[in-house]
Structure 1
Amino acid sequence: MRVVEVTAYGGPEVLRMARRPEPEAGDVPGRVRVRLRAAGVTMADLRIRAGLYADHMGDLRPPFVLGTDFAGRLLDPAPGEEATLPAGTRVAGFVPWYEELTGEGTYAEVVQVAPEWLAPLPDDVEFPSAASVPLAAITAHQGLGLAGLPAGATLLITGASGVVGRFAVQLASAAGLRVVAVSYEGDESELKVLGAKECVPRGEPAEVVRAVRELVPEGVDGVFDGALLSTPALAALKDGGVFVSIAPDRVPASERDIRVEFERARSDPRLLTDILQKVGNRELITRVADVLPLEEAAEAHRRAEAGHRPGRIVLMI
């Protein structure tokens, strides 16, 4: 089967097409095969490829295959808590790549996954849209759960224009939080439609904090750090607030009794099923920025690194 490998740490040029044996049914006990139709390109993929996590990856070294989010069809029946999904079922999910550290990701034609990593895909959600959802939406949902803010509290969401940030805006607003969103210029109206109460422009961290403090002089109750600002963003918080980071290398030290949490998405098939159904019902909005064939994975990374792209870049397989 075709895969895209990281051949060495570096820029997008280190991504190369390769051939690997297609897995057979039962190769890995407890795993089922999915023939992929789409795979999302995440910021974590870019950071892993660049070698930013190289010191935290155990014995894993290139070549390896990147990719977490996927959408496709089951090749094997997948047992679940309530029923078995038959072969042929349209599914989406994410591979906990960083926890597994096998180097077997979703930039491939077929993947082997644990049944709890996936959920059935509603008929009215297309594969590219589905591949933009799982990791981002679950990260946002579980991160907001870690924050534990009550309705009426004020939450600053950095990186609100990004894929995780957009889900965080929608979910936080639905939970009754006052959302202050850090956005790219031109995204303000859309983010307000999604649920942001106020928007401040993206910029240097000190400028962002200054703008937030003008809106909320006493400081916000929480920060969901989708833009990975880390320590500088603590200045936007009131004493005793809560800060949620979504990258292991961007977790700030606590100060002023601020509770600091790190969110790494955990598999939850019931939650993913609910999220995908909400996407199908248009209760949650996702956006695909670009769709490229698998063999153009390097170009997908270049576009993702180039700056503001409103939505997930997806590889079609």
Structure 2
Amino acid sequence: MRVVEVTAYGGPEVLRMARRPEPEAGDVPGKVRVRLKAAGVNQADVRIRAGLYADAVGDLKPPFVLGTDFAGKLLDPVPGMAPGTRVAGTVPWYALLNGEGTYAEVIWVDPEWLAVIPEHVEYTVAASVPLASATAQQGLDRLALPAGATLLVTGGSTVVGRFAVQHAHAAGLRVVAVAHEGDEAELRILGADHAVPRGTPEEVRARVTEVAPEGVDGIFDGALFGGGSLPLLKDGGVFAAIAPDRIPPAERNIRVEVVRATPDAARLKETLQKVADRELLTRVADVLPLEEVAEAHRRAEAGHRPGRIVLLI
């Protein structure tokens, strides 16, 4: 089968197509196979490939396969799902650290990671959802803000940020979102009370202060600003960091929570159904074939377009 390997830490050129034996049924006890149709490209993939997390991955060395989000067809039966069922999920790449990700034609998964893709939801759309929605939901869980509190979502135009805005609005929070140029109106439709354009940290702080002069109670850092947005947080507020190299130092009794999403099939099933019903919106920025994975990483690094870049397999 075809896979994409990280052959060394570096730029997108280190991503190479390779051939590996296709998994056989029953080879890994407790796991089942999924033949992938689509896989998401996440910022974590880009940062791992670049070597920014080399210390965090311990003994794992190239060559390895990146990727967490997937959508495809189940090859082996599991309770409640027959072979051929359309499924999506997240591989907990960081927890496993075995270098077996979703940039591949066939993968092993734990049945507990799987959610059925509703009818009329395309594979590419389904592949944009799992990690982003889980990160947003679990980040809000860690923030634990009461209804009526003010939440700043940086990177509001990203897939993770969009889900954070929507879930936060549903939880009764007052949401201020930092938006990609031209997305302000859409983010307000998704639930943001205020949407301010992105810019330098100084510009963003000034714009947020205009709409939240008293400061914010919590920050969901979808844009990986790190400490750049910390001055906007009230004393005793809470900050959710979604990247291990963007964790600000604690100060002024601020609580810093590090969010590393874990698979949650029940929540994913609910989220995918809401996407099917147009109650939640995701965004696919680009769809590229697996062979063009290096270009996918270039676009992800350049911020080519807000939204998830998806590999078609």
TM-score (structure 2 length as normaliser):
0.98
Give 1:155-166 correspondences, 5 Å limit: 155-166=151-162
Aligned to 1:142: 138
Please point out which of 101, 110, 116 is paired with 1:114: 110
Q: Distance in 2 between matches of 1:78 and 1:296?
A: 33
Is the CA contact (8 Å cut-off) linking 1:147 and 1:243 kept in structure 2? yes
SS of 1:221 mapped into structure 2: strand
Is the CA contact (8 Å cut-off) linking 1:184 and 1:308 kept in structure 2? no
Q: After TM superposition, what 4+ stretches of structure 1 lie above 4 angstroms from structure 2?
A: none
Give 1:70-81 correspondences, 5 Å limit: 70-79=70-79
Aligned to 1:85: 81
Provide the aligned length of Structure 1 versus Structure 2: 313
SS of 2:128 mapped into structure 1: coil
Deviation at 1:63, TM superposition (A): 0.6
Root-mean-square deviation over aligned CA pairs: 1.0
SS of 1:3 mapped into structure 2: strand
Answering whether residue 308 of structure 2 is matched by residue 312 of structure 1, we say yes
SS of 2:51 mapped into structure 1: coil
The amino acid that maps onto 2:64 is F
Is the CA contact (8 Å cut-off) linking 1:169 and 1:196 kept in structure 2? yes
Q: Distance in 2 between matches of 1:57 and 1:115?
A: 25
Question: Which structure 1 residue ranges, 5 or more long, are not aligned?
Answer: none
Q: Distance in 1 between matches of 2:288 and 2:202?
A: 37
Is the CA contact (8 Å cut-off) linking 2:115 and 2:269 kept in structure 1? yes
SS of 1:55 mapped into structure 2: coil
Aligned to 1:2: 2
Is the CA contact (8 Å cut-off) linking 1:8 and 1:62 kept in structure 2? yes
Is the CA contact (8 Å cut-off) linking 2:180 and 2:306 kept in structure 1? no
* 1:52-76 CA distance string (max 9 Å, x none): 0001111111111111000001001
SS of 1:223 mapped into structure 2: strand
Is the CA contact (8 Å cut-off) linking 2:150 and 2:217 kept in structure 1? yes
Aligned to 2:230: 234
Please point out which of 257, 261, 265 is paired with 1:265: 261
Aligned to 1:25: 25
Question: Which structure 2 residue ranges, 5 or more long, are not aligned?
Answer: none
Answering whether residue 219 of structure 2 is matched by residue 223 of structure 1, we say yes
Please point out which of 245, 248, 260 is paired with 1:249: 245
Deviation at 1:308, TM superposition (A): 4.2
Deviation at 1:78, TM superposition (A): 2.3
* 1:110-169 CA distance string (max 9 Å, x none): 000111111111012110000000000010011011111111111000010111001101
Answering whether residue 135 of structure 2 is matched by residue 128 of structure 1, we say no
* 1:175-233 CA distance string (max 9 Å, x none): 11111001111111111111111112211212211221222111101100001111121
Answering whether residue 206 of structure 2 is matched by residue 210 of structure 1, we say yes
Question: Identity, % of aligned pairs?
Answer: 73
SS of 1:64 mapped into structure 2: coil
Q: Distance in 1 between matches of 2:249 and 2:303?
A: 28
* 1:73-112 CA distance string (max 9 Å, x none): 1001124xxxx31111100001011111111110100000
Q: Distance in 2 between matches of 1:216 and 1:127?
A: 39
The amino acid that maps onto 1:196 is A
* 1:276-301 CA distance string (max 9 Å, x none): 11111111101111111111101111
Aligned to 2:296: 300
Q: Distance in 2 between matches of 1:146 and 1:312?
A: 24
Aligned to 1:43: 43
